[in-house]
Amino acid sequence: MPAGIQNLAIFGAAGAIGCALAPELVRRGIPFRAVGRRRQTLADAFGGMAGAEILDADLSDPEQADRAAQGVDTIVYAVGVPFTEFDKHPVLMRITLEAAARAGVARLMLVTGIYSYGVPRTPRVAETHPREPESHKGKCRKQQEDLVTEAHQHGGLRTMVVRLPDFYGPHTGRSLAARIFHSALEGKTATWLGPASTPHEFIFVPDAAPVLADLAGRQDCYGEAWNLGGVETIAGIDFVTRVYRAAGRDPNYRSMGRTMMRIEGAVSPTVKELVELLYLQETPVILDDRKLAATLGVLAKTSYDDGIRGTLEWMRAQ
- Give a three-class secondary structure readout of 8-20: EEEECCCCHHHHH
Q: What is the pTM (predicted TM-score) of this model? A: 0.95
Contact 42, 227 (CB under 8 A): no
Q: How many Cα atoms occupy the beta-carbon half-sphere of 49 within 13 Å?
A: 26
DSSP state of 227: E
pLDDT average per 10 residues of sequence, the chain (318 residues): 78 97 97 97 95 97 98 97 94 98 97 96 97 95 98 93 97 89 96 92 98 96 98 96 98 87 80 84 95 97 98 96
- Domain ranges within the chain, ordered by starting residue: 8-168+203-229+286-301, 176-198+234-282
The amino acid occupying position 293 is A
* Residue 225 CB contacts under 8 Å (≥ 6 apart), including other chains: 127, 145, 149, 160, 161, 162, 163
DSSP state of 125: B
pLDDT at 3: 53
Beta bridge partners, 199, equal: 235
pLDDT at 1: 40
Q: How many Cα atoms occupy the beta-carbon half-sphere of 143 within 13 Å?
A: 16
Q: Which CATH architecture has domain 8-168+203-229+286-301?
A: 3-Layer(aba) Sandwich (3.40)
pLDDT at 277: 85
pLDDT at 125: 98
Q: Alpha carbon 242 to chain centroid distance?
A: 23
